[in-house]
Amino acid sequence: QKEVEQNSGPLSVPEGAIASLNCTYSDRVSQSFFWYRQYSGKSPELIMSIYSNGDKEDGRFTAQLNKASQYVSLLIRDSQPSDSATYLCAVIGNTGFQKLVFGTGTRLLVSP
């Protein structure tokens, strides 16, 4: 079992719709969770971080964390063609020095 799992996609949504990206993780002691966006040929950029159960909203983005079920999701409201990218979920534990563990990413395609 992979430590962080994401559906590779592509996830196709029409412009204006809500895109829902999901991620599950295996390490129960994980405490910090991140979503990165990576455009083709570019480096990943952080778009959201979440540390406690519940929802965290930032503009059109909402991160949702459920530690009991070991999943974290990212919702993108009013999706735009410029949101088309690969979204990487990353997780870090809470014991000593922990490397950030990345999922392989979900490719999102937003059609005009």
HSE at residue 70, side-chain half, CA atoms within 13 A, is: 13
Task: Tell me how far, at minimum, the Cβ of 99 lies from another protein, in Å.
Answer: 6
Q: Is 101 in contact with 94 (CB distance < 8 Å)?
A: no
Helix (H) or strand (E) holding 73: strand 71-76
Out of 27, 49, 60, 67, the residue judged to bind another protein by CB under 8 A:
49
Out of 13, 23, 30, 34, the residue judged to bind another protein by CB under 8 A:
34
Out of 32, 61, 67, 109, the residue judged to bind another protein by CB under 8 A:
32
Residues 82-101 contacting another protein, CB under 8 A: 88, 90, 92, 97, 99-100
Residue 97 CB burial class (10 angstroms; 0-12, 13-18, ≥19): exposed
- Total binding residues toward another protein, as defined by CB under 8 A: 21
